[in-house]
Amino acid sequence: MTSSVHDQHIPGTQGRLFVRTWTSETASSKAPIILFHDSLGSVELWRSFPQALCAATGRTVIAYDRLGFGRSDAYPATLPLDFIAREATDDFAALITHIGLTQFILFGHSVGGGMVVNCAARYPEQCLGLITVAAQAFREDRTVQGIEQARELFQDPVQVERLGKYHGDKARWVLDAWIDSWLHPEFEHWNLRDVLPEVRSPALVIHGSDDEYGSHAHPEQIGQLAGGPAQVEIMPETRHMPHREREEDVVRLVAEFVRELG
């Protein structure tokens, strides 16, 4: 099945957002899948996954760079500590309004998983399904340790330059936004416990058995507290990037999950 790709910039709450859309020949009547990237991610870093997802599901797939990331405009300030919940009321709201979406399926990787939980809770009628991959549900010691190790790695200017390939001169802001937010003392008690019961749509919760940023406690909590039916899948011998490490398996799981959705 072939798909076409369309790039555009749309107005967000504080700047322009870069949006890429993959559309299959059979996608017109089906709710699209919207992708939310991780803390260092961007549209480009989804690589081949969106095209594969579009082909397997027959649905339009939409990915956007959050403000400050990728080809979107720079964020005008320090990232606020409520940025995960705020995405639902700010730029995601701008995205669905601009495109005119009345129904959608949400897919979030890592911190993007926390964002899609908040979006699903805010738009219970429009959200037909929720997929999280390697999502954090709270700040865990393993999460902090993984970020501290990454902070050491990014002391190497070469690593920052590699990040600049995707974020341009915003690379240092992207890195600081990730590290400073998660390691901030006031972020210690952040969690999804209160918002998960407000999710009404079916959920698919995917997690790697060897995820360096979160134990099995995260998918277990998401599955247990979500207000709708939840399917939890722990992928063996998989770390924090299941959609990259085991793309075929993740695409298959998602395709099966969305088959009966609108």
207-232 pLDDT, tens per residue? 999 999 999 999 999 999 999 999 99
Q: Distance between CA 81 and CA 173 in Å, rounded? A: 15
* Number of folded domains that form the chain: 1
Q: Tens digits of per-residue pLDDT, 173-201?
A: 999 999 999 999 999 999 999 999 999 99
Identify the pLDDT of residue 157. Answer: 84
* 177 lies in some domain: no
CB of 78 within 8 A of CB of 28?
Answer: no
- pTM score: 0.96
Q: Rounded to a whole number, what is the largest CA-CA distance in the chain?
A: 49
* 39 lies in some domain: yes
Torsional sign, CA 248, 251, 254, 259: negative
Identify the pLDDT of residue 260. Answer: 84
CB of 133 within 8 A of CB of 206?
Answer: yes
Identify the pLDDT of residue 156. Answer: 82
Which of 110-114, 127-131, 153-157, 168-172 shows the lowest per-residue confidence on average (mean pLDDT)?
Answer: 153-157
Residue 204's domain comprises: 3-138+192-258
**Is the confidence at residue 25, as pLDDT, over 80?**
no
Using 50, 70 and 90 to split pLDDT, how confident is the model at 28?
low
* 68 lies in some domain: yes
* 210 lies in some domain: yes
Which of 3-7, 43-47, 94-98, 219-223 shows the lowest per-residue confidence on average (mean pLDDT)?
Answer: 3-7
Q: Distance between CA 122 and CA 125 in Å, rounded? A: 9
**Is the confidence at residue 89, as pLDDT, over 70?**
yes
Partnered with residue 129 across adjacent β-strands are 105
CB of 195 within 8 A of CB of 85?
Answer: yes
Using 50, 70 and 90 to split pLDDT, how confident is the model at 27?
low
Over pLDDT 70: what percentage of the chain?
A: 98
Averaged pLDDT for residues 64-72 = 98
Identify the pLDDT of residue 1. Answer: 55
Identify the pLDDT of residue 61. Answer: 97
Q: Distance between CA 34 and CA 163 in Å, rounded? A: 23
**Is the confidence at residue 151, as pLDDT, over 90?**
no
Token code pair at residue 86: 């705020």
Using 50, 70 and 90 to split pLDDT, how confident is the model at 84?
very high
* 56 lies in some domain: yes
Other residues' Cβ atoms within 10 Å of the Cβ of residue 70: 23
* 64 lies in some domain: yes
Q: What is the CATH number of the domain that holds 67?
A: 3.40.50.1820
- Which among 262, 79, 103, 99 has a CA at the least distance from the CA of 182? 79
CB of 223 within 8 A of CB of 203?
Answer: yes
Q: Tens digits of per-residue pLDDT, 243-257?
A: 999 999 999 999 999
- Which among 60, 128, 129, 126 has a CA at the least distance from the CA of 97? 126
CB of 255 within 8 A of CB of 58?
Answer: no
Mean pLDDT of the chain: 95
* 9 lies in some domain: yes
Other residues' Cβ atoms within 10 Å of the Cβ of residue 14: 16
**Is the confidence at residue 23, as pLDDT, over 90?**
yes
Alpha helices in 29-69 (DSSP H): 49-57
* 74 lies in some domain: yes
- Which among 78, 91, 63, 70 has a CA at the least distance from the CA of 169? 70
**Is the confidence at residue 106, as pLDDT, over 90?**
yes
- Which among 36, 184, 49 has a CA at the least distance from the CA of 115? 36
